[in-house]
Amino acid sequence: MTRSFSFRTAGLLLLGACLSLPLSAKESAEGFSRQVALSLQGEGPWYRLSIPMSVQLSAAHADLRDLRVFDAEGEALPYALVAGSERQASTPHEAEVRLFPLRGTSAADATQPNLRVQRNTSGTIVEVLPENAGPAAETLRGWLIDASAVTFPLERLRLDWSSPEEGFQRFSVEASDDLEHWQAWGDGQIARLTFNGERIDVSEVKLPGRQARYLRLAWPAGATAADLHGARLQGSTRSTEPAPMIWSEPLAGRQAGDGEYRWQLPLALPLQRVRVSLEQALTHTIVPVELSGRDRTENASPRREAAWSSLARGVLYRLPIDGRNVQQNELELPGWAVRELRLQVDQRGTGLGPEVPSLSVGLPASELVFLVRGSPPYRLAFGKPGAQSAALPL
């Protein structure tokens, strides 16, 4: 059986050393019951393919040890398998924040400004009250930044600033949550230089990636702070994304009793999700169910059937809410290898209708990475019961 599909490249430099190793034994495409033609896109020489569920269900082994890639000459190509896993994602954030000038006759005065703080449901209001110490109190010593509305870790501070003189400006950065207790966050530096028609402008300050409600920028004694016209805080939040899932086409089942349905897989697979089809004609469906599974191997004795293990319990439903149909038809599984599935329906619910529902099964997507050598067309071969794994370690 020969099919075809195409996929794009993905450069994987770390695999170069591994995938350039020769195979330990020459292997031919004979003996593999399934072969899929590959249509490659991009320059290569490394290619990556997300293995579809159709291949997973047609392979001779659940761990894909019988997977191979052959060129037009029938030579097996070096490859590696990458199991599906969770992925770390980073989301960037940016927020404009309010500025308050800190003035005083000395740097010490500026670090202890006369503040009035009010908190309400919309946030924190900070007011810097003027000093009454005469003209000398008007010297700009630093700035207070209100970050009380920022919800992400603070990684960078971008300043819109001006100064009558060019050069470097250094200042200390402190953080606080109550305007009374301050923690040193290191020093910051901004700069503006021009020479021979060239310009250098440094307006970003690195922060330690922690959260704080307020920041204080204090210039050293004897220095006048730069004029700030605006400030923006930048940072990122990190989250874990589940591994991409691959799904089978709906599988036909059979009714094994009153309120009991069964489905058979070609081989035992470590399923992580199932999706039950709900009868569209039933506008109100609420069905408590229990899903069980077992691994019935080819060598199992017909007199001694494997015991069922409970995989999941839940409520499947399809209901009209606010003019649209809302449904929950999936169950999460523990990832045990099962070859047969049994769905038992609680008779106190509405039931699943007169027809046997179909079932789709889901697995985390695995990836095949291989190094192209030889001539096209290339073929993905699988379905050899006695095959041993030829995948290279990563």
Range of the domain at 213: 91-240
Q: Are residues 95 and 81 in the same domain?
A: no
How much is the pLDDT for 29?
77
User: Which CATH number does the domain housing residue 302 bear?
Assistant: 2.60.120.260
What pLDDT, on the 0 to 100 scale, is given for residue 131? Answer: 52
In angstroms, rounded to a whole number, what is the distance separating the alpha carbons of residues 242 and 353?
33
Q: Which residue has the tokens 């839940």?
A: 314
Which pTM does this prediction carry?
0.62
The pLDDT, as a whole number, for residue 123 is 53
Q: Which amino acid is at 159?
A: L
Residues 6+ apart with CB under 8 A from 353: 279, 281, 282, 285
Q: How many domains does the chain have?
A: 3
Q: How far is CA 362 from CA 52, 66, 122, 264, in A?
A: 11, 21, 45, 14
According to the model, what pLDDT value does residue 349 have? Answer: 87
Query: Is there a domain that residue 314 lies in?
Result: yes
pLDDT tens by residue, 338-391: 999 999 999 898 889 889 999 999 999 888 898 888 888 889 999 999 889 888
Query: What pLDDT score does 24 carry?
Result: 42
pLDDT at 95: 97
Query: Is 131 a member of any domain?
Result: yes
Which stretches of the chain score pLDDT less than 50? 1-24, 107, 133, 298-299
End-of-domain residue from the set 240, 257, 292: 240
Per-residue confidence (pLDDT) for residue 242, from 0 to 100:
80
Looking at the structure, tell me whether residues 8 and 115 fall in a common domain: no
